[in-house]
A and B are shown apart, each in its own frame.
Chain A
Amino acid sequence: MASTKTTQLRRIRFSLWILVAAAVLALGGAYFVRTIGVREPPPVTVGEAAIRSEFSLIDHNGNRVTEADFLGRWQLVFFGFTHCPDVCPTTLAYIANVLDRLSGEVERVAPIFITVDPSRDTPEVMAEYVQAFHPKLTGLTGSEAEVAAAAQSFRVYYEKMEEETAPDGYLMAHAGHIYLMTPEGRFEDVFREGEQSAEEMATDVLARMNGKQ
């Protein structure tokens, strides 16, 4: 009788330990999933081959330009539009800030702002807009098809959203990335305003330009 009780107790103790082990595993698992899960996937690192600098557009002086006109310089490319009141000026001001921190090396960089709203962003509008941010900044526009092709080559997503109350009845949605392309026009890296200070981005860009990374 006593031995049966001991066996029973042993069984209970064993089951309890199983429960404890299950709880530990479940909690650990949940913690693991949470720690890993909250990390956002890295932005569009589809690989070097997928993102190319290929375009034929009109610059803010009214001249037709292609990627060939920017080869030989490191390119910082950002897609946006001038009706964008928040993300675009914030990002362009950030790029200007980065350029100012490149000091002597700024000549080796071509900062490019490509509009995704070409029907409203004419070369004249782009000229006034980009010059307010930085004298080195080039604004590019073109036909809807040319802009779509440029965005496609950079794997940039944008869309027109109907919004009755917005000017002209629409808003644009877009990805706010800054692409760093090599002097050969190959994808080097992608940055986002707000993820590092302008100083940090400038240091990073300089290191890559000088082959330290």
Chain B
Amino acid sequence: MRKLIAIVVAVWAIASPALAEESIRVFDTWARATILASRPGAAYLTIESAAEDRLLGVTTPVAGHVMIHAVEKDGDVSRMKHIETLELPAGERVTLAPGGMHLMLMALQDKLSEGTTFPMTLSFETAGEVTVEVSVLGIAAQGPREAAE
């Protein structure tokens, strides 16, 4: 019986983070190559969460600090707005893409070079931590789908 409990616990321990990742999907993750290491970079992705959740923060070893930015258009003027947490309504896709929301990667260790990848960890209120691999595309890239075409 004790053995069975141990197995159940072990299976549960292995399965639960996987389940968490199942309920939240992070895809189309990419960053634009940067020219100067002293300048911030931008990363983009799409998140789809089965249940209502919230993105609390993002970390990556390549940057000292990551900020979630929305772009507010006030007439003709674009203002970047720092948002603390990103609301994820159940079953809705939230897309961060050029000209709109983006993750601003600050204090880069080095410039982001096209063709490389780096890990990025997203912390969700309910789903916990999800680590994704981010592909660095060229400075002219508009998104990973375009690159694949």
Contacts and interface: CB of A to CB of B under 8 A. Distances in A.
A87 interface: yes
Interface in A100-135: 125, 128-129, 132-133
Contact of A176 (B32, B69, B78, B142): B78
A86 B71 contact: yes
Contacts, number: 81
In the A-B complex, list the 8 residue pairs whose CB atoms are closest, starting with the nearest: A93-B140, A85-B42, A173-B79, A132-B35, A175-B76, A85-B40, A90-B98, A86-B102
B84 to A, nearest CB: 10
Given A86-B102, A90-B99, A97 B39 contact: no
Interface in A125-184: 125, 128-129, 132-133, 157, 159, 161, 163, 165-167, 171, 173-177
A129 B67 contact: no
B77 A173 contact: yes
Nearest to B105: A85
B104 interface: yes
A93 B36 contact: no
A48 B95 CA distance: 38
A119 B105 CA distance: 21
Give chain A's interface secondary structure class.
mixed
Give chain B's interface secondary structure class.
strand
A96 interface: yes
Give the size category of A's interface with B. 35 or more
A89 interface: yes
A188 B98 CA distance: 27
A82 B40 CA distance: 9
Contact of A44 (B76, B78, B102): B76
Nearest to A134: B140
Interface of A: 41, 43-44, 82-83, 85-87, 89-90, 92-94, 96-97, 125, 128-129, 132-133, 157, 159, 161, 163, 165-167, 171, 173-177, 193-194
Nearest to B140: A93
Interface residues of B, number: 29
A123 to B, nearest CB: 14
Interface in B61-114: 65, 67, 69, 71, 75-80, 82, 98-99, 102, 104-107
Given A93-B140, A96-B140, A194-B99, A175 B32 contact: no
Contact of A157 (B39, B67, B77, B102): B77
Contacts of B99: 86-87, 90, 193-194
A187 to B, nearest CB: 15
A167 to B, nearest CB: 6
Nearest to B65: A165
Interface in B36-71: 36, 39-42, 65, 67, 69, 71
Contacts of A85: 32, 39-42, 69, 102, 104-105
